[in-house]
Structures are given as C-alpha cells and as structure tokens.
Amino acid sequence: MDKKEFRLLIKYCFLKGKNTVEAKTWLGAEFPDTAPGKLTIKDWYAKFRRGEMSIEDGECSGRPKEVVTDENIKKIHKMILNDRKLKLNEITDTIKISTERAHMIHEYLGMRKLCTKWVLREPPGTGIRFEKFHNRESLSNPTT
C-alpha cells in the first residue's frame, strides 16, 4: 500500500472514534510489514483534530532544485579538478548555491570528500602514554 492509502485508513480510524494506539494496533495487525509508525499516526490524528481532513501532501516550502543544472555541474567539476582540496563552502560561495544543493557533487559527479586526520591515542590495555610516541624507537619497543 502507498502512503495515501494508509492515510485514508488512519482517517477511517479517526472518524470511527479510535485513538492512536488502537489505530496503530489495528494497522499493525492488518499490515505488519508496511504499517506506518506511531508518530506518523499521531501527526495525522493531530491534523484531523485541527479540521484538516485532506489526506494529500501539503505544499513544500523552499526553493526548487533549479540550481542542479548541467552548467553548474560542469563548473563544480572543473573547480574540483583544478583544486582537489577545495572546501564545500568555497564551492557554494563561488557558484552561489546552498550547501544542500552542493551535495550534487556526490550524486551527479560520483565524488566524495575524503578527510583523514591521524591522531595519536593510547592503545587500550597497553599502558603506553602519549609521551612515548614522540620518538621512533618507542614505537618499535613500547616497553622502554
């Protein structure tokens, strides 16, 4: 079943006078693998209590994905090839797009930022302190 059909069943339970727990129990028994969660049912009950009886999705606010264009994708690709250490905020400032849209790098270019930072820490159970890692000899013989 799709979301719209589940919303209709939730509305049916609401109109029958069932509470959210009863609705969840009934939907869980009828559709054990695909039933909506408890919070989803609560949200739709709250909407119905406010008098909003539509089971349609509400309008989504925000800007459409018009910045994901071939031109922007090519610009970003060229920028990354010129400087692989480029930061995400530098890309967004140059192209004038939001950081959410800049994630098109992952989706359309198949690239990801790989950051590694080596940090020394005490290996568990060895009793080796941080100071012993400062010279090369102590790494080869940690008991000294």
Among 3.30.200, 1.10.8, 1.10.10, 3.40.50, name the CATH number for the domain at 3-49: 1.10.10
Which own/partner contact pairs does 60-66 have at CB distance under 8 Å and 24+ positions apart?
A: 63/98, 65/101
Other C-beta atoms within 10 Å of 73: how many?
17
The domain ranges of the chain are 3-49, 70-109
Could you give the CA distance from residue 96 to residue 93 in angstroms, rounded to a whole number? 5
| pLDDT tens-digit profile, the chain (144 residues) | 888 899 999 999 999 999 999 999 999 999 999 999 999 999 999 999 999 999 887 766 665 567 777 888 888 888 888 887 777 788 888 888 877 777 767 677 777 766 643 444 455 555 544 444 444 444 445 554
Could you give the CA distance from residue 13 to residue 45 in angstroms, rounded to a whole number? 9
Contacts of 14 (CB under 8 A, 6+ apart): 23, 44, 45, 48
pTM over 0.85: no
